[in-house]
Amino acid sequence: MAVQVRGEVLDIRRVGQYHVLSMVAPGVAENAKPGNFVAINVGGEHSSMLLRRAFSIYRTDQRGVYGGTVDIVFSVAGPGTAWLAERTRHDVIDVVGPLGRPFVLPAEPVPCVLIGGGYGAAPLFSLAEKLRERGCRVDFVLGASTEDRIFGALEAKRISQSIAITTEDGSLGERGRVTDVLPRVIERADSAVLYACGPMGMLQAVAKTAERYGIHSQCAVEEAMACGVGVCMTCVMPVVGDDGQTRMVRSCVEGPVFRGDRVRWSEVGTVPDDVIGSIAWTQAVNDSRFSGPLPVAVEEPELIDDDVAAASEELS
């Protein structure tokens, strides 16, 4: 269950282009699972920055002297993260978490590849530990635009069977993108599951690679979020359900981890016509009421002609 706590900054340090912030956040640390995120109030009490900012949980430690601790990794993207980067030891931070649905772990000890783009690597290290506890082979692929945007290469090396690194400018590892080396890693390890976190384009490419190999993928999305707790619908994405129907689902509560083959990646940011509840879908349902079978099974009240006639009389 998520809690709201006023945590204290324990430490903040630079790692390449990133900041790693550790805070005491009792209740969050104890309940967090790999893939969960926290929503942090930025700017202080009198700030005009009303919306919390979301961050993947990098590490937790339940045995902290002052209570459980939570670590996050961030780069300065705008005013909220700039404010966070200026925090120092003992500053107080208002944090809500753990939020969202975590990664699903395989029931069997199967080989898994963990793919992180930039700071998207952050939630994958605790996942790697959980997978290894279950006897899964873990291979890492980390990618970023430049060397200083690769996060956690040494840590990944320590806890995995192999690590492949790609940078777009070739400053570390192979020049290119994670999906350039991913097929090689999958084939070598005979991987059964891909876990990924990073930019949308990377997740789409990873999901496509998984489909090509007929294996499972789980992708943690970082769709822009306003409330983080399922109220505002800012974060909706078109996702196909078990019944084959597409719905706009909230990535903060139904995600941020989704099955890669269920997200309609190329339509993220749009409302496809066949999404349940879309304008086109509603129009089709209404039209079919008078001219043919419904496009999907729905139960709606019948229009009763007498009621309509009575209402018209009242109006006239």
Strand partners, 213: none
- Containing 211, the helix (H) or strand (E) segment is helix 200-213
Distance CA 290, CA 226 (A): 40
Instruction: Please list every residue from 120 through 149 that binds ligand FAD, using CB under 6 A.
Output: 122
> Which residues 30-49 are close enough to bind ligand FAD by CB under 6 A?
37
Q: Tell me the closest approach of the beta carbon of residue 283 to ligand FAD, in angstroms.
A: 32
219 binds ligand FAD (CB under 6 A): no
Shortest CB 70 distance to ligand FAD, Å: 12
Of 193, 225, 257, 263, the one binding ligand FAD (CB under 6 A) is 225
Please count the other Cβ atoms lying within 10 Å of the Cβ belonging to residue 311. 10
Residue 97 binds ligand FES (CB under 6 A): no
Q: Does residue 2 belong to the site contacting ligand FES (CB under 6 A)?
A: no
Nearest to 278 by CA among 242, 253, 246: 246
Residue 39 or 141: the one with the smaller Cβ distance to ligand FES is 39
Given ligand FAD, ligand FES, none, residue 143, with its beta carbon under 5 to 8 Å by kind, binds: none
The yes or no reply on residue 248 touching ligand FES (CB under 6 A) is no
Task: Give the C-alpha separation, 191 to 186, whole Å.
Answer: 5
Residues 184-243 that bind ligand FES (CB under 6 A): 225-228, 230-235
- 295 in helix, strand or coil? coil
* Residues contacting 73, CB < 8 A, separation 6+: 15, 18, 19, 20, 21, 55, 56, 58, 119, 121, 122, 151
* Candidate list 2, 8, 64, 79; residue touching ligand FAD; CB under 6 A: 79
The number of residues that bind ligand FAD (CB under 6 A) is 21
Q: With contacts defined by CB under 6 A, how many residues of the chain interact with ligand FES?
A: 12
Stretch that binds ligand FAD, among 143-151, 168-176, 206-214, 218-226 (CB under 6 A): 218-226
Do 148 and 172 meet the contact criterion of CB atoms below 8 Å apart?
A: no
Residues 100, 256 contacting (CB under 8 angstroms): yes
Closest approach of ligand FAD to the CB of residue 123, in Å: 7
Burial 65-79 (b: 16+ CB within 10 A, else e): eebbbbbbbbeeeee
**Interaction site with ligand FAD (CB under 6 A):** 37, 53-56, 72-75, 77-81, 119, 122, 222-225, 256
**Interaction site with ligand FES (CB under 6 A):** 225-228, 230-235, 250, 252
